[in-house]
Structure 1
Amino acid sequence: MLKKLVLTGAAGRLGSYLREPLSKMTEELVCTDIAEGIGKLYPGESYVRADLASYDEVHTALEGAEMVVHFGAIVDEAPFETLLGPNFIGAYNVWEAAFQHGARRVVYASSIHAVGMHAKQDCIDTDVAHRPDSFYGLAKCFAEDLGRMYWDKRGLESVHLRILSCAQVTSSRALGSWLSYDDLIQLVTRAVETPTVGFSVVYGVSNNDRSPVDNTKAGQLGYRPKDNAEQFAAEILAREPAGDPTDPAQMCQGGPFSAVDLGESGLAQMTIVDDRKET
């Protein structure tokens, strides 16, 4: 069991599902976000309000941490200036503070949007070149390269989870991209407990029949997703119109983020159900 683990983005939808399982892996779980609070705390859990864009606040929150699960960010496309603080500088602050405090590993919520302009029919693996679909995706590329550099130069391990779509299945795209909450928890806990990871990139996706990525290299974590979005296929496909092969939102890995103009919301083109876990 770890002595101290820090979770950023704890007030977010995905963070709400990670808090309880992570609290069972460590003597002390410190959750951070910019929200006023995160509800009732689990045993061993505490909450620290911290702005990712502030190095001093991040540095204080990470003191004594063995690992950091970094899920904090603005989770949509936005103007570069809006994302610069939390998504770009925030990533640097987390890695630098983790290094300064002697942490062993950062587990990072990367995204398919780091490679979002690749075609879905290419069934890409984790070795493909970065090809961001947005400023949001560019921030994920930055953090992945940051993690590689801190491993190469400073020996700080990191696992970068390129999450495809972790939300209720409401579209045909999600039949391939879905990551269930149970599989998310398995993926993150395996990224924490695996003895050595070096610098690793894996896709965050369930065991979907229609998955558009090759996630073979996630095997090193012992990640074995159990859920499959095919159970929703008949209902989804019956109500959606025929596909359009000229639409980047349908043909590219990044979905709607691949089609919107830079700086414009990608989530506005999607139906995301806010079903965060309440404590």
Structure 2
Amino acid sequence: MPRILMTGASGGIGTRLRQLLPPIYPDLLLSDLTPPANLSSKENFRQADLADLAAVEAICEGVDGILHFGGFSVEGPWDAILQANIIGTYNLFEAARKKGVKRVVFASSNHAVGFYPRHTKIGPDVTARPDSRYGVSKVFGEAVGALYADKHGLGVTCLRIGNFGDEPLDQRRLSIWLKPEDLVQLCEIGLEHPDIHFEVLYGASYNERAWWDNSRAYQLGYRPVGKAEDHREHAMAEQARLKPDPVSDFYQGGAFCGIEFDGDAGRVWEPK
């Protein structure tokens, strides 16, 4: 049975996956900067700062595959993004190489391509259009993943995660929702599919309003069980409570595009 390391065990995604992964990967090693508040005696946890290469190497010892959900998960000041998401992600891949890890699933984000308009459907091979410093860090992570796949033979899957949760929370999320059980499927593909070298897939459930072409994930066996339209009534009711924003409402990245925006909102960028 493979030993799987999951970073970010105390975060929102990590907390939910701690419930869903053990039946599939019983030998699951958890790590984060701080221990989960509700850590049980049955869980195996090792504290580590991603910005400390030696600490990351220590948690990668004897590991077969890594689910990398650690880091700074929202927009923030550059130094916080730099330490956790830039230096930390490089350290994770370098430690994986040194310790002979076979597979890494990297939690990228839709914010790596957030400045594409909502009326444009995009695939995984488009030019990056990050909507934030956080988005820039995810573009960096995808690039480092490609380097370590091509140069060092590491099997890497980058998941551009949409909105993770039990149901879509507004109209935008009807297009990008990711049910937790579907994320588990994508993790299994990244860790186990024999054809994985380097892949960028979208972390999204079956969303009829999807802005993303996720056909490659389906080719690899992905069969999502979550259907966003089952939650349409709730999502649209919540949307009615939100104030309109000409920038956030136009681009796929939503509010991340509007944060600190001081460009010309009347001259929005469109792909050629």
Deviates more, 1:106-115 or 1:192-201: 192-201
Q: Deviation digits for residues 71-103 of structure 1, max 9, x if unmatched?
A: 001111011111111111010010000000011
Measure the CA separation in 2 of the matches of 1:208 and 1:157.
Answer: 28
Measure the CA separation in 2 of the matches of 1:187 and 1:42.
Answer: 28
Deviates more, 1:181-190 or 1:130-139: 181-190
Matched, 1:174 2:173: yes
Over 3 Å counting, the alpha-carbon distance change for 1:91 and 1:122 in structure 2 is: same
Measure the CA separation in 1 of the matches of 2:175 and 2:150.
Answer: 33
Shift of 1:185: 1.7
Higher relative contact order (CA 8 A, sep 6+): 1
Q: Secondary structure at the match of 1:126?
A: coil
Q: Secondary structure at the match of 1:248?
A: coil
Measure the CA separation in 1 of the matches of 2:148 and 2:44.
Answer: 28
CA contact (8 A) 1:50 1:61 kept: yes
Match of 1:222 in 2: 221
5+ residue gaps in structure 1?
A: 263-279
Q: Deviation digits for residues 40-97 of structure 1, max 9, x if unmatched?
A: 4475x41001111111111100101111100001111011111111111010010000
Match of 1:18 in 2: 17
User: Which residue of 70, 73, 83 corresponds with 1:75?
Assistant: 73
CA contact (8 A) 1:22 1:189 kept: no
CA contact (8 A) 2:176 2:210 kept: yes
Sequence identity, in percent? 38
For 1:32, the aligned partner's letter is S
Measure the CA separation in 2 of the matches of 1:221 and 1:46.
Answer: 30
CA contact (8 A) 2:20 2:181 kept: no
Measure the CA separation in 1 of the matches of 2:211 and 2:36.
Answer: 37
Measure the CA separation in 2 of the matches of 1:234 and 1:27.
Answer: 38
TM-score, structure 1 as length reference: 0.87
Shift of 1:255: 1.0
Q: Secondary structure at the match of 1:129?
A: coil
Shift of 1:181: 1.3
Shift of 1:246: 7.2
Over 3 Å counting, the alpha-carbon distance change for 1:5 and 1:240 in structure 2 is: closer
Over 3 Å counting, the alpha-carbon distance change for 1:200 and 1:22 in structure 2 is: same
Match of 2:101 in 1: 103
Match of 2:123 in 1: 125
Measure the CA separation in 2 of the matches of 1:25 and 1:172.
Answer: 33
Over 3 Å counting, the alpha-carbon distance change for 1:31 and 1:122 in structure 2 is: same
Structure 1 stretches of 4+ with a deviation exceeding 4 A read 241-246
Q: Secondary structure at the match of 1:122?
A: coil
Match of 1:272 in 2: none
Over 3 Å counting, the alpha-carbon distance change for 1:27 and 1:116 in structure 2 is: same
Over 3 Å counting, the alpha-carbon distance change for 1:238 and 1:16 in structure 2 is: closer
Over 3 Å counting, the alpha-carbon distance change for 1:103 and 1:246 in structure 2 is: same
Root mean square deviation of aligned Cα: 2.1
Shift of 1:111: 0.2
Deviates more, 1:161-170 or 1:114-123: 161-170
Measure the CA separation in 2 of the matches of 1:257 and 1:239.
Answer: 19
1:226-265 maps to which residues of 2 (within 5 A)?
226-238=225-237, 240-241=239-240, 247-261=246-260
Shift of 1:252: 1.1
Measure the CA separation in 2 of the matches of 1:196 and 1:218.
Answer: 12
Over 3 Å counting, the alpha-carbon distance change for 1:79 and 1:179 in structure 2 is: same
5+ residue gaps in structure 2?
A: 262-272
Over 3 Å counting, the alpha-carbon distance change for 1:175 and 1:26 in structure 2 is: closer
Measure the CA separation in 2 of the matches of 1:46 and 1:29.
Answer: 7
For 2:75, the aligned partner's letter is E
Shift of 1:247: 1.6
Shift of 1:239: 5.6
For 1:247, the aligned partner's letter is P
Shift of 1:13: 1.3
